[in-house]
Amino acid sequence: MKAHAAGEQKTAGAMRWLPGVQALRVYRRAWLRADLLAGIVLAAILVPQGLAYAELAGLPPVTGLYTTVACLVAYAVVGPSRILVLGPDSSLSPLIFAAIVPLAAGGDPGAMLALAGMLALMVGIVEIGLGLGRLGFVADLLSKEVQVGYMNGLAITIIVGQLPKLCGFSVDADGVFREAAAFVQHLDQTNATTLIVGVATLAVLLTWRYLTRRVPAVLVAVLGATVATAVLNLSAAGMPTVGVLPSGMPRPSLPWTEAGDVVPLLVAAIGITMVSLTDTIATSAAFAARRGDEVDSNQEMIGIGVANIAAGAFQGFAISASSSRTAVAEQAGTKTQLASLVGAGIVALLLIFLPALLVDVPLTALAAVVIAAALSLADVGILRKYFRVRRGAFFLSAIAALGVIVFGVLQGILVALGLSILLFFRRNWWPHGEVLGYVPELGGWHSVRRYRDARLTDGVVIFRWEAPLFFANSDLFRQRVRTLIRREEPSWIVLQCEAITDIDVTAAEMLERLDIELNAKGVHIAFVEMRTRLQHLVLEYGLLETLDRDHFYPTIERALAAIADDAASDA
Instruction: Give the C-alpha separation, 275 to 139, whole Å.
Output: 8
CA torsion sign for 450, 459, 502, 428 is positive
pLDDT at residue 1 tops 80 = no
pLDDT at residue 439 tops 80 = yes
Beta bridge partners of 247: none
* pLDDT band (50, 70, 90) for residue 17: low
CA 342 to chain centre: 28
Q: What is the reported pLDDT for 536?
A: 85
pLDDT at residue 196 tops 50 = yes
Instruction: Give the C-alpha separation, 242 to 180, whole Å.
Output: 25
Instruction: Give the C-alpha separation, 186 to 183, whole Å.
Output: 5
Q: What is the reported pLDDT for 284?
A: 79
Element counts in the chain: helices (H) and strands (E): 22, 8
Q: How long a stretch of residues is the chain?
A: 571
Cβ–Cβ < 8 Å for 64, 51: yes
Please state whether the predicted TM-score (pTM) of the whole model is above 0.75: yes
pLDDT average, residue stretch 536-549:
80
Instruction: Give the C-alpha separation, 503 to 536, whole Å.
Output: 11
Considering only residues 415 and 52, tell me which one the structure prediction assigns the higher pLDDT.
Answer: 52
Q: What is the reported pLDDT for 5?
A: 47
Instruction: Dump pLDDT digits (tens) for 499-514.
Output: 899 999 999 999 989 9
pLDDT average, residue stretch 394-417:
86
Q: Helix or strand or coil: residue 296? A: coil
Q: Spell 506-526 as b/e; 16+ CB within 10 A means b.
A: ebbebbbebbeebeeeebbbb
Q: What is the reported pLDDT for 414?
A: 78
* pLDDT band (50, 70, 90) for residue 15: low
% of the chain exceeding 90 in pLDDT: 57
pLDDT at residue 13 tops 60 = no
Instruction: Dump pLDDT digits (tens) for 146-185.
Output: 888 888 999 999 999 999 999 999 998 888 999 999 999 9
Instruction: Give the C-alpha separation, 21 to 386, whole Å.
Output: 45
With CA atoms as reference, report the closest residue to 360 among 51, 42, 41.
51
Instruction: Dump pLDDT digits (tens) for 223-238.
Output: 999 999 999 999 988 8
CA 322 to chain centre: 12
Q: What is the reported pLDDT for 392?
A: 81
Instruction: Give the C-alpha separation, 105 to 109, whole Å.
Output: 10
HEC string of 327-372?
HHHHHCCCCCCHHHHHHHHHHHHHHHHCHHHHCCCEHHHHHHHHHH
The helix (H) or strand (E) run that includes residue 538 is helix 532-541
- List helix spans (H) across 242-322: 262-290, 297-313
pLDDT average, residue stretch 356-382:
92
